[in-house]
Structure formats: C-alpha cells, structure tokens
Amino acid sequence: MEVFDPGEVDTALADLAWERTGDEIVKVHRSADFASSLAFVNAMGVLAEEMNHHPDVDIRWNVVTLRLTSHSAGGITALDIELARRIDALA
C-alpha cells in the first residue's frame, strides 16, 4: 500500500476530526464519562476488526485518544484515512 505524503494526508483530513502528527493521524474523542468512552471504543473496535486495521488506543476516563498508521507500509495510507472516516461516523 502506498504511503501518503504530508500534503496528501492534510488534504484527506480536511473534513475529518483527525490531525496529522508525524507518521500518524490522531483523534481525541471526549465522552460524558468512562462508560461512554468504553462504548465508543467497543464500537470503534468493531470497525477496526472489520477492516483488520487497528489503532493504538489510550483511554483516560472520558478521553479516548486514537492513533492510526500503517506500520507495515511505514506511514499513513488510504487504509488509515478510510478507518478514520468510519470512526468519525460513529460520533
């Protein structure tokens, strides 16, 4: 899979709630409480499993931070952008 250059990533993220940080895209999702954070992560996990592409996940009570990159390709690819779109549709 082809790695996007930074400009391509920025263009792809223009309508998404993610930001580029180096070779990753990052989303910070805030929930009402811990239970809501877990519900979001569980819903996101279904999408990740369907795509066989899994973000790094950090849960801190009501804040969930997701980081996506295609490790096997060495950067951000169309797979990361597509999963980001699907995750954004959850919120």
Model confidence at 73: pLDDT above 80: yes
Distance CA 57, CA 27 (A): 10
| Confidence label for 91 from pLDDT (cuts 50, 70 and 90) | confident
- Specify the CATH superfamily of domain 6-88: Transcriptional coactivator/pterin dehydratase (3.30.1360.20)
What are the residue ranges spanned by the domains of the chain? 6-88
pLDDT tens string 12-47: 999 999 999 999 999 999 999 999 999 999 999 999
Two tokens, residue 29 = 């999702």
Distance CA 14, CA 71 (A): 23
pLDDT tens string 57-68: 999 999 999 999
